[in-house]
Each structure stands twice: as C-alpha cells, then as structure tokens.
Structure 1
Amino acid sequence: MSQWQQPGDRRTRGRVLRWNLAGWILFGLLPQAVAVLDASPARRYWLLGLLVLIALCHTVVVNRPDNPLLRHGTYLHLLALVLGSTAYLMDGGAAFYVVSLPQFWLFTRAPRDAITLSGAAAALTVFGGTLHQGWSPQFLTGNVISTVVACVAGAGLGLWVHHFVVRSNERQEQLTAALALTQKELAAAYQQQGAAQERERLAREIHDTLAQGFASIVVLAEAARAAAVNDPVRCAEQLTSIEQTARENLAEARVLVGSAPESGVAAGSLAITLRRTLDRFAQDTGLTVTAELPDVDLDQRTRVALLRCTQESLANVRKHSGASTVGVVLTELAGGVELEITDDGCGFVVEDSRGYGLDGMRRRLAELDGELSVISSLGDGTRVLASLPTHSQDRA
C-alpha cells in the first residue's frame, strides 16, 4: 500500500479501494468490453480475456492487500501490459489509461514508483495504438496527446496529494506525540496530587487520633506520677487510662497502615461511641461533662467525622481552655445533623487561631458537604458547631 495511505484506518482505505474498483469497472472495463463486441472474434476474445484477467487480479489485490501480486509492483506491471495490449486491440486506449491511472498511486509505496510505472503504462498505451494505427495525425491528436496529458496531470496531482498527506501525517504524529506527552504529564500531576492528598489525609488522621492519644498519655502519666505517693488509687486509675489509650492508639496505627479495617466508630449508634469517649474524658480530666445524645442513625463516614470533631474539641478543652464544664449536644434535623460542643473556659480569638485542629475539622466536614462554626471570645468560653447533611445510602 502506498505510503500516503498508511496512517488511515483499514476501513477508510478499504472504502477508497472499493469505490475506485467500482469506478474502474463502470467507466473502464465495461466500455472496453462493449466496444469490442463489434470486433472480429479473435480480437474480441483476446480483449475480453485480458479484461477478465486484470479485473480478477484487481479484485484480489483490493480484498487481500498482502497478496503477492503487490510485491515488486507485479500487478501494476501487468496492468501496464494490459493497457498497451488494449490500445493495440482497440486502436487506442487513452480513455482506459485515464480511468486506470489512480491505481498507480494507490498501489505503490513512493511517488517515484508511481510516476515510473504510470509513465511506462502511458508509453505502452501510445506504442500499442501506434503499432496498430501508425502515426496518423488523427491518432496523434486523439490518443497520444490525451495519454501524455493525462500522465503529466496525474503525476502533478499525485505529487500534490502525496505532499498533502505526508504533511497531514506529520501533523498527526506531532499531535499524537503531544497528546502522549500531555497524558504522561497529566498522569504525573494526578499522581502528585493523589500523593499530596494522601499525605494530608494521613496528617489529619494522625493529628486526630495518634497525636491526641499520645498527648493524653503524657498528661495522664504526669498526673499518675504526681499521685503515686499521696493517692495510689487515683494513680492506678490513671495508669489504667494510660494502658487503654495506648491500646486504642495501637489500633488506630494499624488502621492507618492498612493492616486493620477502619475503626474508631463501631457500626451502629454514634451516641454509644460518644458516651464512651466522654466518660473517658471525664475520668481522665475530672471535668464535669453533660451530654444530650439521642440515638441517630447515620452512615459510617458521618459518624467518623463527628467523632473526630468531638475528640479534637475535647483535646482543645483539655490543653487550652481551663474549663470546668463541657456540654455536648447531638441534634437530628430535617436532612441533617448537628453536633454542638461548648465549654466555660477562657475562650480565644477565633481569627487568631493558627492551629491544625480547627482547619482539619473544617476540611473533614467539607468533604461531606458539611460546615464547622466556631464562636469564642476571651473569657466567654467556646462553642463548636459541626453541621452535616445526612445520607441514607451506605448506612453501616
């Protein structure tokens, strides 16, 4: 197949060849077959035999592009001989040559081969007609000039089409290379973005779980050491809390490295998990904790988000507020749920807060289309309100 056709898909090339075959039969073979019907029997049989032979060869070439007839231009050499023979038998074959001319460009690999073979076919067409008719002025005017003009025009048009197709192929290759490069860069960007998001997720999970647990262990260890002499019972309670917190941290660490299923909130009621967390907090800190925790049916991601917000808020109360009382209220709304955590501590200026905890809570809630509202001022305590829409799907 010619070089300028290779980039096209097989179906397009097949359609082009089949249309060319149909046109060649309709305007090339049939007129020749009809014209020879009035000739002598010998001439008629020879010409019909040649037409049938070249038609069969052409059909095989079109349907089987890997056929040996295409190798080394075998089919085109045969076509050139048939054109010369037809010109001899029909006293001229310019019209048949013109209709057959596209094949020299369709079935060659390079323009040079197409020009050479089409020129040879033109020479054989002229020679065949001349051999039978001689160099009469009428023949020169009709057959020779038509054949030569068709050969020259075909070469020019073929070169132009070849140049156009080559440029199109080069452009297509450039676009393909650019697309491959863009896809590679996009894949790298997605990979980097995914890695950054995963780092952010791990940092948030570590802050909300392991870091808070280790901070609790430090505080409990300091309190246990202080109570070791004067209050052995209290010291034992704090050591038990340290052990329990360490076990919980170990379980969370296994979740983070993927060696255990997601934990933190058991399947079922969020209220039970929050009560357990608040009881531990009250036991470890000695603060008064009030809670209104109705049994709200929530999906797993919402339960995890609300638990993490509670843990972060309680950690802030322990580390920064100096509060004596903490209140937690869980409220089910139409299409949503709210978790309110308040304390009577020293408060702070929200705009001046630069901690990771509040930003982490906001991002965690935003991933679930929720919001975090923090209201506080110096000396007036703090109110944290987490709002989330409820999702009926994926309940766990």
Structure 2
Amino acid sequence: MTERQRQRQPGDRLVPERVLRWNAAGWTLFGLLPPAVAVLDASPARRHWMLAVVALCHTAVPHRRSRPAGQPCPATHAYLVVLALVLGATSWLLNGGATFYTVSLPQFWLLARAPRDAVALSGAAAALTVLGSTLGQGWSPQFLTGNVVFTAAAYGAGTGLGLWVHRFVGRSNERQQQLTNELSTAQEELMVAYQERGAAEERERIAREIHDTLAQGFASIVVLAEATRAAAVSDPGRCAEQLTSIEQTARENLAEARVLVGSAPESGVAPGSPATTLRRTLDRFVQDTGLTVTAELADVELDQRTRVALLRCTQESLANVRKHADASTVGVVLTEHAGVVELEITDDGHGFVVEESRGFGLDGMRRRLAELGGDLAVTSSLGDGTRVFARLPTHSQD
C-alpha cells in the first residue's frame, strides 16, 4: 500500500490533476477574461482596480497535484477566502457579478476541504456578490429580479449539485475501497493457497524420492543381510559377495540421502547412456537375487530427467519382483521410435490383481512419468506374471 493510499479515508474525494487543470483553464477563460474585457471602457480608476483584482485572483490560484479533497490544505482554504472577496469586489466594480460567481462555483467544491466548507464559502461568496452589486448600483426591483435572484439560484443549484456529487463520489470511493480490500484479501488467500500447494507438492516429491531410493535401498540391505546370515557357514564365498553388495547399496543410499538434503548438487544417476545405467542395475539385481534376466536395451540419447525416470521405474519394478512376484525370469526391453522411448519389464511370477493394488510404488511411478508427459500401464493377473510398460517423449527438458 502506498503512502497516498494510507492517508486516504473511505469517504475522501480524490480530485484528479487533469480535472484541476481543465477547471483552472475554463475558469480563466470564462470567468476572469470577461470581467477584464468588460472593464476596458470604464473609468481609469475602475479599470485599474478591476485588472488588479483579476491579476491577484489569477496569481492566487493554487498550483498543486491531485489530492483527497478532505485532506487539510491551509493555502487552498485561504485562496477560497480570497476568491470570495474578489467576487464581492468584482460585483461592486462591475455593478453586478452573478455570472462571474456562477462560473466560479466549481472552485469551491473542487478545492474545499469538506462539503460544509464548500457550502459556507460559496454562501459567503454569494452574499458578498449581492452586497457588492448593491453597493455598486443600489437597491431596486430590477436589481432584485436580476442579480440577486440569479446569484441565489446559482448558489442553491450549486449546493444541491455539489452535495449530490459528493455523496455519489463518496459512495463510489467506498465501493472502490471495499473492492480493493476484497482484492487484497483474495490475493493473500491465493498466495497462501499457492504456498500450501507448493509445500504439498514438495512433500509428495520427497516422499516419492525416499520410496524410490532410500526405502528400496534399505529393503535390499535387509534381504541381503538375511541371505548373508544364512550363507555365513555353508557358503563363505557367497557371503563375501553379499557383504560387498550390502556395502555398495549402503554407499548408494548415503549418496541419495545427500542429494535429498541438498548437500549434493545432482541426482546420483550418472550422466551417460540409459542402456549402460540400466544394465548396471540389472547386473546388481542378478548378483543379489540369482534370477535370470534377459535384456534388450537400445542405445538412445535422453536427457537427465528422462534417464532418472526410466531408472526409477526399473528399480521399483525389480524391487516388486524380488518382494512379491516369486519369479524365476525377468525380461527388460528398452526401445525408441517416433520420438517416444518405451520401457517394458516382464516377469513370470504369480502376478496380482492390479485394481486391488494399493502400494505407493505404482502411484509414484505414474506421477513421475506424468510430470514428463509420459504414462504407465501395468498388466497382470494371478498366475500369469506381470508386465510394466512405460512410455516417455524423448524431448523432455532438464
């Protein structure tokens, strides 16, 4: 909120600068100029006095920028007092000043501090106008029907119109202020909603990353540790291999944890061919589980986010095979055609009912692929194994 907005009150009338300029120009042209021309044929004394009064009034016009009309301004108030006196002096010098008074009426309503000041000052100016005319030409029926009636009518009409405009503008300003407050409230609520949405999306992203990296890694460590304990006596060589796998998995988990907390600059997925990355993952899977894996991996060029998405889908699918499928063979196929890369992972396990699956992993894979414009299809039935099919556009950006 600006300083001007803080100073304004709900009922203030803001007088635009352009309105003040147009009023000053019109008042100079139709208010000051006619009396100055009319007195040119008068006596030298009257002419000099009249021109001096006009010059004084023109010089005293306040030059300022727009401001709320209710804001105190002593210089403007003093100018209106001078204007009322000038109207009285002009009516005396010209033997009548109703027209000049009428043209000057907007000045009181534009520059006064409040409606009551405008009513009082314009009323005083009307009285001085009538008094000046009376002193100039005396009291007569013709004078009564002309100058006095015209001045009184102008004062009454000006007061009524001024009060109506003030009330109308006041209501408009109140409505504007109300709309401004409502807009400000809506903006604050929208900002809070965006912040909450961003926080929720960030929590979901972190939860997905933890599930796809740390949780899977810890699950692998648990399985490997159990197998190592079982092979500790009967197969020391196998036990040593599994201990190496446990160490490697723990190191990978540590690297992923550093990425999640922001102490590492990027994902732990090294740049390069996705086929190479997936083959390392499959080799580790074979080493840890002893299952048969067949792989057909095309050598495609993909950006980092797409490589990470394909790797996470592969890791999640292999983790599900190890924990739930009871399979003996796994097949992995990576292909690219028509600007789309496709990843297919199948197993010969006992399968499951896809509609009854409530795991976080499948939903996480779908969201991850959807963020990159891809999709995921899972096909399975009891006794027939499982097929996971992921599609991604190859033009995804980092």
Interval containing the TM-score (normalised by the shorter chain)? over 0.9
Q: Deviations 1:109-158 (Å, cap 9, x if unpaired)?
A: 11111111000000000000001111111111111111111111111111
- Alignment-derived partner of residue 128 in structure 1: 132
After the TM superposition, which of the residue ranges 99-108 and 260-269 deviates more from structure 2? 260-269
Give the corresponding residue for 2:20: 17
In 2, are the aligned partners of 1:326 and 1:343 still within 8 Å (CA)?
yes
Code of the residue aligned with 1:27 in structure 2: it is F
2:111 to 86, 99, 107: 107
Question: How far did residue 378 of structure 1 move?
Answer: 1.3
- Provide the residue aligned with 2:3 in structure 1: none
Q: Does 1:53 align with 2:56?
A: yes
Query: What is aligned with 1:254?
Result: 258
Q: Does residue 395 of structure 2 align to residue 385 of structure 1?
A: no
For 2:372, give the aligned amino acid: L
Q: Which amino acid aligns with 1:265?
A: V
The 1:358/1:346 distance shift into structure 2, 3 A limit, reads: same
Matched, 1:296 2:300: yes
Alignment correspondent of 1:162: 166
Aligned residue number for residue 4 of structure 2: none
Aligned match for 2:330, one of 283, 302, 326: 326
Is the contact between residue 274 and residue 307 of structure 1 (CA under 8 Å) also seen in structure 2?
Answer: yes
Please state if 1:38 is matched with 2:41: yes
1:88 match = 92
Structure 1 position 393, deviation (Å): 4.8
Which SS does the other structure have where 2:341 is aligned?
strand
Aligned residue pairs: how many? 389
Greater shift, 80-89 or 265-274, is seen at 265-274
User: Does structure 1 residue 283 correspond to structure 2 residue 287?
Assistant: yes
TM-score, length of structure 1 as denominator length? 0.94
Match of 2:267, SS state, is: coil
Among 58, 78, 84, the residue aligned to 2:82: 78
Residue 7 (structure 1) shift: 5.7
d(CA) in 2 for partners of 1:192 and 1:392? 27
Q: Which amino acid is the alignment partner of residue 119 of structure 1?
A: G
CA contact (8 A) 2:316 2:361 kept: yes
**Which stretch shifts more, 262-271 or 226-235?**
262-271
2: CA distance, partners of 1:149 / 1:40: 31
2:224 equivalent to 1:220:
yes
Provide, for residues 84-113 of structure 1, a one-character-per-residue CA deviation record: whole Å limited to 9, x for no partner: 000000010000000000111111111111
Cα deviation, 1:65-96, whole Å, max 9, x if unaligned, reads 79x98437110011011100000000100000
Q: Is the 8 A contact 1:339 1:385 kept in 2?
A: yes
The one of 212, 226, 233 equivalent to 1:208 is: 212
Q: Which residue type is aligned with residue 203 of structure 1?
A: A
Kept in 1: contact 2:11–2:174 (CA 8 A): no
Contact 2:76/2:112 (8 A) holds in 1: no
Secondary structure in 2 aligned to 1:212? helix
Aligned to 1:336: 340
Q: Which SS does the other structure have where 2:16 is aligned?
A: helix
**Aligned mates of 1:265, 1:166 — CA distance in 2:** 65
Q: Contact conserved, 1:264 with 1:304, CA < 8 A, in 2?
A: no
- The residue number in structure 1 matching 2:315 is 311
| Matched-pair identity in % | 75
- Report the CA distance shift for 1:317/1:72 in structure 2 as closer, same or farther (over 3 A): same
Deviation of 1:3 (Å): 7.9
Deviation track 1:324-373 (CA, whole Å, cap 9, x = no partner) reads: 11111110111110001111111111111111111111111111111101
Is the contact between residue 2 and residue 106 of structure 1 (CA under 8 Å) also seen in structure 2?
no
What is the identity, as a one-letter code, of the residue corresponding to 2:280?
Answer: R
Question: Partners of 2:27 and 2:233 in 1: how far apart?
Answer: 111
Residues 71 and 5 from structure 1, CA distance in 2 versus in 1: closer, same or farther, beyond 3 angstroms? Answer: farther
Residues 360 and 7 from structure 1, CA distance in 2 versus in 1: closer, same or farther, beyond 3 angstroms?
farther
Unaligned 5+ segments in structure 1 are: none
**Contact 1:18-1:62 within 8 A present in 2 as well:** no
Provide the rounded CA distance (Å) in 1 between the counterparts of 2:133 and 2:152.
Answer: 13
Shift of 1:268: 2.1
Q: Secondary structure at the match of 1:345?
A: coil
1:244 partnered with 2:248: yes
Distance 1:226 1:306, change over 3 A: same
- Tell me: CA distance 1:64–1:264, structure 2 relative to 1, closer, same or farther (3 Å): closer
Amino acid at match of 1:164: F
Give the partner amino acid of 2:63.
V
Which amino acid is 1:61 matched to?
H
1:310 aligned partner, one-letter code: T
TM-score (norm 2): 0.94
Go from structure 1 to structure 2 and tell me whether the alpha carbon gap of 1:64 and 1:303 turns closer, same or farther (over 3 Å shift).
closer
1:61 counterpart SS class: coil
Report the secondary structure of 1:229's partner residue: helix
The residue aligned with 1:266 is 270
Residue identity opposite 1:38 in structure 2? D
Q: Is the 8 A contact 2:305 2:397 kept in 1?
A: no
Aligned-residue Cα RMSD (Å) equals: 2.0
CA shift, 1:312, in A, is 0.3
- Post-superposition offset of 1:262: 2.2
* Residue aligned with 1:265, SS: coil
What per-residue deviation string (whole Å, max 9, x for no partner) do you get for residues 186-234 of structure 1? 1111111111111111111111111100000000000000000111111
1:28 aligns to what? 31
Q: In the aligned structure 2, how far is the partner of 1:188 from the partner of 1:219?
A: 44
